[in-house]
């Protein structure tokens, strides 16, 4: 189920709110059951997989918590948790990738290729595996207490607002809230406001501009202007899609008394790649920092090792996004840029320029990375880069792409997206000061967004697949 669907808005959410606030006890258990329904809506069989991941990490957490500090039992329990969780992720997300690459190598060696075993990728697996892993690691490190009950832990892993696309909520962030949390009108209202804004970002902006991005990236050939228009459209689509989803998740969390961490902070206002990663998918950056970069040695072993660590972290971050070489290259690109800026003392090469230029150059560097992110193959990305650099031109039927890209609607949406993306007060900040005017605006916006939802058939969630 997705948030921007008729069934979620008009049936699932009202039902959950009504029953949740009517229940005097066992609210976490109720949220767990409804979260499993939410997740199982896509394919009920995969609820079992999530339950298995939850059970394994819960048992490992119990063993870790019960064993004395420094004992081998703790070590083996955390090892088992990491190994089993990553094996699940590896099988469902990377098994086909490995098979394809093995076949490629076999072809080069002139051997017979084997038939590919098809594996369906369960939605949100990267998110809930990371979250459940964070629990055992935190308990192992002693930074979190063990969970009170299995049902609380299962609720944490499956909690529907942030289940599919984050923000990645670490166990120690939410442990106290699982035990006890305040349900206030203040929190509910700000949650409602944030949900409405995220809902509008997704349906009004991301979905509308996403059609232009799809047309450009789907074209056979492109000229430079089409390619630039397409990649800027995609940059806006992915930002408003993903940040809209995060806003909805945080908003829904607040409606049920939870406080999830902020996930975006005006990322296209970043004036360096280092700054960009402080603002984009913040929960993933922090997760990778705490559970990968620091265990690898972080910046403690010397400058060279720091650069290597940064590149490794971003390479794996790329692979986390998808089992494809373009994601690996996307990660490497960001890793190398981060290492380069670290070498310059966390400053970009263009640091001497005025801030608007720094922002513009960073945005262009990010656009290049979005080409890698969006193109399904390296060959496609190279073609797209050629078009962006003016080394290719629209030929044959691709000439007609202009009729699909340069429309009044796309220009209006591009302008609106640019205004909203390049200003510092994002939804998360905007809802902190709700005036009467803003309240009225939100209600009208919600109504119009619902109307848009009823009229739209194009409604992909880009981060669904991760």
Positions marked catalytic: 321
Is the CB of 369 or the CB of 410 nearer to other proteins? 410
- Largest CA-CA distance found in the chain, in angstroms, rounded: 71
3-state secondary structure of 249: helix
Which two three-digit tokens encode residue 89?
Answer: 């992720």
How far is the C-alpha of 409 from the C-alpha of 417, rounded, in Å?
A: 12
Residue placing its CB nearer to other proteins in the complex, 44 or 295: 44
Report whether 305 contacts 297 (CB < 8 A).
yes
List CB contacts of 363: < 8 A, sequence separation 6 or more.
Answer: 235, 268
Cis peptide before 167 (omega within 30 of 0): yes
For other proteins, which stretch binds (CB under 8 A), given 27-35, 78-86, 168-176, 432-440?
A: 432-440
- State which residue, 37 or 55, has the beta carbon closest to other proteins: 37
The verdict on 301 binding other proteins (CB under 8 A) reads: no
State which residue, 84 or 402, has the beta carbon closest to other proteins.
402
| Identity of the residue, 99 or 189, whose beta carbon is nearer to other proteins in the bound complex | 189
Three-state DSSP at 383 gives helix
How large is the angle between the packed helices 125-141 and 46-66, nearest 10 degrees?
Answer: 10
Interacting span for other proteins (CB under 8 A) from 129-137, 284-292, 366-374, 447-455: 447-455
Does position 7 bind other proteins by CB under 8 A? yes
Q: Is 189 in the site for other proteins (CB under 8 A)?
A: yes
**Minimum distance between the CB of residue 141 and other proteins, rounded to whole angstroms?**
36
Round to whole Å and give the CA distance between 317 and 331: 6
Name the nearest CA neighbour of 155 among 34, 303, 285. Answer: 34
By CB under 8 A, residue 434 contacts other proteins: yes
Which residue's CB is nearer to other proteins, number 40 or number 298?
40
Query: Residue 246: in which H helix or E strand, if any?
Result: helix 224-255
- The least CB distance from residue 359 to other proteins, in Å, is 28
The interface with other proteins within residues 218-277 (CB under 8 A) comprises: 218-220
Asked if residue 77 binds other proteins (CB under 8 A), the reply is: no
Four-point Cα dihedral 211, 212, 213, 216, nearest 10: 120
Cβ(298)–Cβ(309) below 8 Å: yes
Stretch 22-41: interaction string toward other proteins, x if CB under 8 A:
------------------xx
Q: Which of 277, 462, 276 is nearest to 374 (CA)?
A: 462
Among 401, 417, 421, 427, the residue binding other proteins under the rule CB under 8 A is 401
Query: What is the separation, in whole angstroms, between the first and last Cα of the chain?
Result: 15
Nearer to other proteins, 34 or 282 (CB): 34
Report the residue from 24, 70, 110, 403 that binds other proteins according to the rule CB under 8 A: 403
Among 129, 215, 328, 421, binds other proteins (CB under 8 A): 215
Segment interacting with other proteins (CB under 8 A) among 122-130, 131-139, 259-267, 431-439: 431-439
Q: Contact region for other proteins (CB under 8 A) — 159-167, 213-221, 241-249, 418-426?
A: 213-221
Q: Pick one of 404, 422, 445, 464: the residue that binds other proteins (CB under 8 A).
A: 404
Residue with tokens 């608007």: 356
Q: Is 323 helix (H, G, I), strand (E, B) or coil?
A: coil
Residues in the chain: 466
Residue 136 binds other proteins, judged by CB under 8 A:
no
436 binds other proteins (CB under 8 A): yes
Residue 407 makes contact with other proteins by CB under 8 A = yes
Q: Can residue 49 be called a binding residue for other proteins (CB under 8 A)?
A: no
- Residues in the interface with other proteins (CB under 8 A) total 67
Q: Toward other proteins, which CB reaches closer, 86 or 382?
A: 382
CA atoms within 13 A on the CB side of 325: 9
Q: Is 108 in the site for other proteins (CB under 8 A)?
A: no
Token pair recorded at residue 260 = 């999830």
- Chosen residue from 20, 188, 350, 430 binding other proteins by CB under 8 A: 188
Asked whether the CA dihedral 435, 252, 166, 376 is positive or negative, the reply is negative
The Cα-based distances of 464 to 5, 164, 361 in angstroms read: 14, 6, 29
Which among 421, 413, 330, 422 is positioned nearest to 374, based on CA atoms? 330
How many CA atoms does the CB half-sphere of 350 hold within 13 Å?
19
Answer yes or no whether residue 429 interacts with other proteins by CB under 8 A: no
Q: Which is nearer to other proteins, 147 or 219 (CB)?
A: 219
5 touches other proteins (CB under 8 A): yes
Q: Which of these ranges, 69-77, 143-151, 174-182, 183-191, lies near other proteins under the rule CB under 8 A? A: 183-191
Q: Compute CA 102 distance to the chain's CA centroid, rounded to the nearest angstrom.
A: 29
- Identify the DSSP state of 352: T
Contact positions toward other proteins, by CB under 8 A? 5-7, 9-11, 13-14, 17-18, 40-44, 185-186, 188-190, 192-193, 196, 208, 215, 218-220, 376-377, 379-380, 394-404, 406-409, 412-413, 432-436, 439, 442-443, 446-448, 450-452, 454-455, 457-458
């Amino acid at each position: 189920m997705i948030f921007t669907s008729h069934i979620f808005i008009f049936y699932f959410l009202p039902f959950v709110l009504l029953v949740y606030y009517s229940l005097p006890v066992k609210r976490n258990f109720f949220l767990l059951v409804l979260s499993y329904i939410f997740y199982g809506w896509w394919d009920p069989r995969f609820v079992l997989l999530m339950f298995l991941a939850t059970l394994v990490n819960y048992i490992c957490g119990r063993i870790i918590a019960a064993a004395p500090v420094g004992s081998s039992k703790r070590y083996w329990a955390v090892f088992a948790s990491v190994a089993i969780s990553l094996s699940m992720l590896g099988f469902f997300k990377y098994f086909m990738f490995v098979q394809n690459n093995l076949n490629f190598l076999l072809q080069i060696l002139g051997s017979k290729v084997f038939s590919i075993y098809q594996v369906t990728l369960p939605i949100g697996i990267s998110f809930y595996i990371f979250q459940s892993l964070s629990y055992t690691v935190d308990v192992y490190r002693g930074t979190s207490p063990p969970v009170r009950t299995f049902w609380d832990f299962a609720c944490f892993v499956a909690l529907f607002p942030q289940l599919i696309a984050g923000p990645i909520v670490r166990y120690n962030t939410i442990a106290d809230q699982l035990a006890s949390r305040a349900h206030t009108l203040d929190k509910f209202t700000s949650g409602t406001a944030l949900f409405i804004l995220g809902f509008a970002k997704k349906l009004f902006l991301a979905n509308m501009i996403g059609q232009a991005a799809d047309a450009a990236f789907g074209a056979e050939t492109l000229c430079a202007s089409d390619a630039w228009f397409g990649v800027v459209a995609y940059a806006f689509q992915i930002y408003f899609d993903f940040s809209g989803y995060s806003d909805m998740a945080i908003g829904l969390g607040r409606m049920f008394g939870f406080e999830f961490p902020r996930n975006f902070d005006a990322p296209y206002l970043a004036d360096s790649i280092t700054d960009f990663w402080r603002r984009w998918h913040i929960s993933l950056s922090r997760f990778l920092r705490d559970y990968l970069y620091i265990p690898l040695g972080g910046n403690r072993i010397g400058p060279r090792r720091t650069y290597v660590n940064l590149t490794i972290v971003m390479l794996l971050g790329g692979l986390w996004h998808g089992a494809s070489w373009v994601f690996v290259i996307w990660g490497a690109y960001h890793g190398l840029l981060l290492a380069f800026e670290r070498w310059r003392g966390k400053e970009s090469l263009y640091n001497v320029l005025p801030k608007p230029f720094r922002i513009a150059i960073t945005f262009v560097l990010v656009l290049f990375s979005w080409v890698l992110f969006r193109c399904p193959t390296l060959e496609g990305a190279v073609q797209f880069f050629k078009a962006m650099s003016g080394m290719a031109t629209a030929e044959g039927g691709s000439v007609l792409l202009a009729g699909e890209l340069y429309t009044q609607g796309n220009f209006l949406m591009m302008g609106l997206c640019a205004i909203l993306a390049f200003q510092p007060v994002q939804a998360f900040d905007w809802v902190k000061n709700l005036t009467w005017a803003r309240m009225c605006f939100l209600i009208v916006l919600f109504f119009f967004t619902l109307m848009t939802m009823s009229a739209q058939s194009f409604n992909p969630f880009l981060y669904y697949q991760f």
